[in-house]
Structure 1
Amino acid sequence: MSLNRMGVLGPLLVIAGCFLLFHGESSMGTGTIFASLWPTLFVLPLGVFFHWMYFYILQRRGVGLLVPGGILLTTGMVCQMATWFDSWGTLWPGFLLAVAVGLFELYWFGGRNRWLLIPINILTALSVLFFIVFSIGSLLGMLYSGQPVIAIALLAAGTLLMLKQRRDRHPL
């Protein structure tokens, strides 16, 4: 059976393309590949495996498999983005969201126990709150370090506000 018939070639090409796109170095070795793609190679397949077990092998029995499956899928995506963009300080709230995703899958596919919504909502709210706070902190850090893009955006926004204020006082 060929790689293309098994459906493996497409994802491998996508992974290779993402690696080449996000990895700025020209040298590529086994260590470089593992350092950049460890979440895609090890964490995401486990999350997919748990979902595959629940949906296809156990045929929707054993809903508890979705909790680690959702946690591993979300954690794998967070880790992969943080590795590619070197943004661990901003994306760490995704780990709180991973637990909320796993519990939400248990809620959705399991008996819809409404008490699960309490930790799901708390974890999701904390994740969003921390993500906003640390994103703003990163943006302010970029501003403080003299990032010209943010400086230009602030200048443009201030100029537009002043022109709008002036137009409101003196209509044509």
Structure 2
Amino acid sequence: MDNRKNGKFGLGVTLICIGILLTLSTFGVIPSIGELLAKFWPLIFIFVSVLFHAGYYSDRKNVGLLVPGGIFLTLGIVFQTSELWDIYNVMWPGVFLAPAVGLFELYYFGNREKGLLIPVGILTCFSLFLFTFTIRNLRGFSKFILPIGLIIAGVIILINDRKNGHESNQNYGDF
């Protein structure tokens, strides 16, 4: 489909979904649209992110669309998580992570300009540093942070090792 047909299709699907939601709300099957938006407003950020990412993936030429796409996606996840579990006091450092994600997408899918990794690293470290102070507000969950962090670090090391052509697990084929 060309861009005009894609746009009309997207608009048509959106109008149908809104109509269904309004009908279900009118019959009391689901809460009112206002009540849903009060709890799920961050999904708008994620929807906008999907549009930016779709714009990039439609022709893979406009790599710059990934920066706002990554920012909106990260903000949507941070805000939706905060909204659902009422943990804004823990999640606010994720706002600093948002531009890092967008810039990393630009680096990864773009020309791999090493200079982009400097702000990505600074913003990521700053966000993680702030998270170390706010994570204590998650009573009961903070004891899982170190083990989960170690698991994630191990997975990243294994993935990077495989990407670099080192088959680390070749000696473990007899399990």
Q: Which TM-score bucket, shorter chain as reference?
A: 0.5 to 0.7
Which residue number corresponds to residue 63 of structure 2?
Answer: 63
- In 2, the alpha carbon distance for the partners of 1:95 and 1:78 equals 7
Which residue number corresponds to residue 29 of structure 1?
Answer: 32
**Identity, % of aligned pairs?**
44
Which residue number corresponds to residue 87 of structure 2?
Answer: 87
How much has 1:30 moved relative to structure 2?
A: 2.5
How much has 1:44 moved relative to structure 2?
A: 0.7
How much has 1:135 moved relative to structure 2?
A: 1.2
Which residue number corresponds to residue 45 of structure 1?
Answer: 47
Structure 2 residue identity aligned to 1:28 = P
Matches within 5 A, 1:133-172: 133-136=133-136, 138-139=137-138
How much has 1:32 moved relative to structure 2?
A: 1.5
- Residues 61-101 of structure 1: CA deviation (Å, up to 9, x unaligned): 01110000000011101110000011111101111111100
How much has 1:31 moved relative to structure 2?
A: 2.0
Which residue number corresponds to residue 114 of structure 2?
Answer: 114
Q: What TM-score do you get using the length of structure 2 for normalisation?
A: 0.61
Structure showing greater radius of gyration is 1
In the comparison of the two structures, how many residue pairs are matched?
117
How much has 1:28 moved relative to structure 2?
A: 3.2
- Residues 108-146 of structure 1: CA deviation (Å, up to 9, x unaligned): 11111101111000100011111111112x25xx6xxxx
Structure 1: tracts of 5 or more residues without a match: 1-5, 17-26, 143-148, 154-172
Structure 1 residue identity aligned to 2:41 = W
Q: What TM-score do you get using the length of structure 1 for normalisation?
A: 0.62
Q: What do you get for the CA RMSD once the two structures are aligned?
A: 2.4
- Residues 15-46 of structure 1: CA deviation (Å, up to 9, x unaligned): x9xxxxxxxxxx93322211001111x11110
Give the SS at the match of 2:49: helix
- In 1, the alpha carbon distance for the partners of 2:34 and 2:132 equals 34
- In 2, the alpha carbon distance for the partners of 1:98 and 1:129 equals 15
